[in-house]
Structure 1
Amino acid sequence: MLSGGKQEVDLQNSNNLEIDEAAKFAVAEHNDRENSLEKLTFSKVVSCHMQVVAGSMYYLVIEVEEGSSIKLYEAKVWVKPWQNFKKLEEFKLKDAGVTSADLGVRTGGPHSTGRGISAPPSGKQSWPTDDLVVQEAAEHAMKMLQQGSNSLASYELSEIVSADAELSDESADFELLLKIKRGAKEEHFKSEIHRTGDGDWSVKHVTLQ
């Protein structure tokens, strides 16, 4: 699960080995998935944002050669170095549309969760409960729930039952239905969480269902 907002990486003043490896992995994985005769060739990393997860999530803009053309692609790569683990979450032409990496801070294009392109968002939309940013929203809801509790027993998140997101140009609003466990008792809570385009979170309220 996510534990922090995205931070820009200064490529001029950082160790780029892991970043370059993640970018090259993204290009190679895309080539394998597409199985096209016209392969992309890695050129360089143009920009990088990093988010601390169980490991690191890299949001990359990668320059590639495609035949005689130079193109920019956006990639999202999850890396856990201690497990020698890499997973390509998303790979698309830059500015080809909104993805779950953007999580609703832009509108007007298709969005993708790694399961294919769907229609442009309009109003409240159902969102996959296993999306990493949905899970981050649930974490913030759980923190608020625990802070407002008078009980010494801790709440545990059993399941994200459903997730809706309403996207705007500068923010995203989530409505989550959570199954919560405290001791032997299970309850359902509904939570509304707001995220700004800068990655700042606020929990509007959490209510028992």
Structure 2
Amino acid sequence: MAKITLTTFFFLLITFFVLTSAIPGGRTKIQNVKKNKEIQDLGKYSVDEYNRLQRGQKTGDGDLKFSQVVAAESQVVAGTKYYLKIEAVSNSGVKKVFDAEVVVQPWKQQPKQLLTFKPSPKKNH
């Protein structure tokens, strides 16, 4: 049986990691977002957090109701940053699409943070 040196072992381990991991900095499109529970949960979190922040500022026209995430991308940063296109329903019953950015850092006390939440430009849906 062939012996593997420590150097060879680490080279193989690093090669495996590089080939199977996301490269930091680049955005990756997430497939099948409508069936992806983690992504749908992040979308619901985004709407809930937006509603909470709006109530705290006493601005805005009431709570939004989460419908679904319709598109998503991820980016490896210090954690994972998600770019979500979220469909939500306003109090008046109008369906709208929003762009949200959420960073997930599981090691922190608050592992999720909503960075942005704004109406999506019409040309993007």
Aligned counterparts of 2:104 and 2:52: Cα–Cα separation in 1: 19
Runs of at least 5 residues in structure 1 that lack an aligned partner in the other structure = 97-209
Structure 1 residue 27 displacement after superposition: 0.5
Structure 1 moving runs of 4+ over 2 Å: 81-84
Q: 1:17 to 1:82 in 2, by over 3 A?
A: farther
1:94 partner letter: S
Identity %: 36
TM-score by length of 2: 0.67
Q: 1:47 to 1:53 in 2, by over 3 A?
A: same
* Structure 1 counterpart of 2:117: 91
For the pair 1:29 / 2:62, whether they are aligned, the reply is no
Q: 1:15 to 1:70 in 2, by over 3 A?
A: closer
* Structure 2 counterpart of 1:76: 101
Aligned residues: 94
Aligned counterparts of 2:62 and 2:35: Cα–Cα separation in 1: 31
Q: Where does 1:4-153 land on structure 2 (aligned, <5 Å)? A: 4-11=25-32, 16-35=36-55, 38-67=62-91, 68-83=93-108, 85-95=111-121
Pick from 24, 31, 43: which aligns with 1:3?
A: 24
* Counterpart secondary structure, 1:64: strand
Runs of at least 5 residues in structure 2 that lack an aligned partner in the other structure = 1-22
2:100 partner letter: A
* Structure 1 counterpart of 2:16: none
Q: Identify, as 1 or 2, the structure richer in strand.
A: 1
Q: 1:18 to 1:82 in 2, by over 3 A?
A: farther
Q: Identify, as 1 or 2, the structure richer in helix.
A: 2
Contact 1:11/1:48 (CA < 8 Å) preserved in 2?
A: no
RMSD, aligned CA: 2.3
Structure 1 residue 54 displacement after superposition: 1.9
Aligned counterparts of 1:22 and 1:63: Cα–Cα separation in 2: 13
Q: 1:11 to 1:5 in 2, by over 3 A?
A: same
Aligned counterparts of 1:17 and 1:53: Cα–Cα separation in 2: 22
Aligned counterparts of 1:29 and 1:5: Cα–Cα separation in 2: 26
TM-score by length of 1: 0.41
Contact 1:22/1:79 (CA < 8 Å) preserved in 2?
A: no
